[in-house]
Structure 1
Amino acid sequence: MYSPTPEDWREANRAKWDERVPIHAASEFYDLDAFRAGKDALRDFELAEVGDVTGRSLLHLQCHIGLDTLSWARHGASHVVGLDFSEPAVETARALAVDLGLSQERAAFVAADAYDAAEAVPDSSYDIVYTGTGALCWLPDLDRWAETAASLVAPGGFLYVAEFHPLTDSLDDETGSRVVHDYFVRDPWVDTTPGTYADLDAVTVHNRSVEWVHPVGEVVTALAKAGLRIEFLHEHDASLFPRYGSLQRHEDGYYRFPADRPRIPLMYSIKASRPA
């Protein structure tokens, strides 16, 4: 029997993210001054796999404060739209767009739930629908997400997903070498950890959140059911942060296991297209 989803899951998650927006905006982790000066927020494998975005429209679902969204605009996307359920996050993203000299025609941000994206965004379809790392764990219903995202992909366009691999949630935090949690768990995970990944020592009040683990097969199947064609599923042996104490930071900025340890996937990416 599965544990029921708390009725207030969306409100709890929104309160947590609303509180953390100013902490993130002021943090060294996001380093908005460096971003304003030209630092790219996108990962190299994302740029390679998505390809040239010049002249293309792009929708970013669950965009947080908009750094990835605005980076796609810097890479030549003709029109980018970021969507997030946190009003403070959207306000911060809009201010950043102004700082970068991007008009609303080039970069727009919308405050709305990901499930309501089709009704909330300004256009009915986009050449590229993008969702970045750490997004899917906040959604209980992947079929509904996939249907919504797929409906916004223009004919001949594609959806691109970059995510942390769910296998990493099955392993012990200290070494990442022992399976301690069920990979196929469907129960919501309620967390009450204070602080934030961008500032572990930050004083926070809204610490309760509800998250879900989605196996890779569930993600791929949801996208296929929604009518998209899976172009690739790539698994990556690197992470963006030291998920386990045994991970080591490399010169390229990624974290990997030591060379004498067997590798496992720490991240994955998917490209799924809509026929022209």
Structure 2
Amino acid sequence: MTDSPHPYSDAYLELNKANWDERAPLHLASADYGVQRFVDDQNWLSHVVTFDRARLGDLSGLRAVHLQCHIGTDSISLARLGATVIGVDLSSVSIAGATELAQRAGTDVTFVEADVYSAVEVLGGERFDLVYTGIGALCWLPDIARWATTVASLLVPGGRLFIREGHPMLWAIDEDQPGALVVGYPYFEQVDPIIWDDSSTYVETDTPIQASVTHEWNHGLGEIITALFDAGLQLTALVEHTSVPWEALPGRMALDASGEWSLIDHPERLPLSYTLQAVKRA
């Protein structure tokens, strides 16, 4: 990894990798991901990609890299929309599962093991028309400026970044305070991580995770946009949503017909996710 002015320790990589190595088989077996549908239906797309289908537009012929691809359901979906896709993830177990799923699903996707900050080196300096990142990814990265520089390095001039992510206001809410929306965690990026010790994951499973300690960081929306601008990208679209694809605040959300969760009581109070697009300036 290259030097960074951000004084975090790379120890977070091993902790988070061990956690995701355990999550991957649980997610592959979960009804929440429904991986068999990708095998049974050649036109099936992931919920996350379907949500932004109109915003993605025509992907035919585009060379795309999906950062933090996990088990590959979004990567396969992008390929089914016409892109040539490389999925990148730090978890070797996720990469193995994604590779097998793509083969079973009859969809051509290449998967590569690498953490985000090493992606440019591991991919040999290859440049892409599209960098895609799905929901629940940026919180695992300590330095948003370094992420933005990585994105810029992966894009051709005029290439596009597309990301849907949990809103930093959502990440700042303490979900263990059911009586109110309490801002209990940092909104802005901090040097020190938020350290969690949680043996569960976000899908239904009876199997506890042994590598339960993870390190996470929040990044304010302004910090993300500024980092992209400083890295040579121009913001072209930003939409904030009142929904997310999982029950982020248990007991206070309702599931709609599209598979998204929103606050039951006055959902207009809190942005829960956003879709951002930016292009690399020539």
Q: TM-score, normalised by structure 2?
A: 0.89
CA RMSD of aligned residues (A): 1.9
1:98-125, CA deviations, whole angstroms, 9 ceiling, x for partnerless residues? 11223xxx41110011101111126611
Q: 2:69 aligns with which of 51, 63, 72?
A: 63
Which residue does 2:155 correspond to in 1? 153
Q: Does 1:208 align with 2:213?
A: yes
Which residue does 2:140 correspond to in 1? 138
Measured in 2, the distance between the counterparts of 1:191 and 1:19 equals 16
1:36 Cα deviation from its structure 2 partner: 1.6
Q: Does 1:265 align with 2:271?
A: yes
Q: 1:179 aligns with which of 171, 183, 197?
A: 183
Measured in 2, the distance between the counterparts of 1:202 and 1:264 equals 32
Q: 1:92 aligns with which of 88, 91, 97?
A: 97
Q: Does 1:74 align with 2:80?
A: yes
Cα 1:184–1:260 shift into 2, 3 Å: closer
Q: TM-score, normalised by structure 1?
A: 0.91
Aligned residue type for 2:152: A
Aligned residue type for 2:85: V
SS at match of 1:242: coil
1:35 Cα deviation from its structure 2 partner: 2.3
Q: Is contact 1:127-1:157 (8 Å) kept?
A: yes
1:31-67, CA deviations, whole angstroms, 9 ceiling, x for partnerless residues? 2112222331134342121211011111100100111
Measured in 2, the distance between the counterparts of 1:190 and 1:260 equals 31
Aligned residue type for 1:151: S
Q: Is contact 1:128-1:153 (8 Å) kept?
A: yes
Which residue does 1:36 correspond to in 2? 39
1:200 Cα deviation from its structure 2 partner: 5.0
Q: Number of aligned residue pairs: give it.
A: 269
Cα 1:97–1:261 shift into 2, 3 Å: closer
Aligned residue type for 2:182: R
Q: 2:234 aligns with which of 215, 220, 229?
A: 229
Measured in 2, the distance between the counterparts of 1:259 and 1:194 equals 29
- Structure 2: 5+ residue runs without aligned partners? 1-6
1:196-246, CA deviations, whole angstroms, 9 ceiling, x for partnerless residues? 112353222110110001111111111111001111221111111111221
Q: Give the fraction of aligned pairs with identical amino acids, expressed as a percent.
A: 39
Q: Does 1:46 align with 2:52?
A: yes
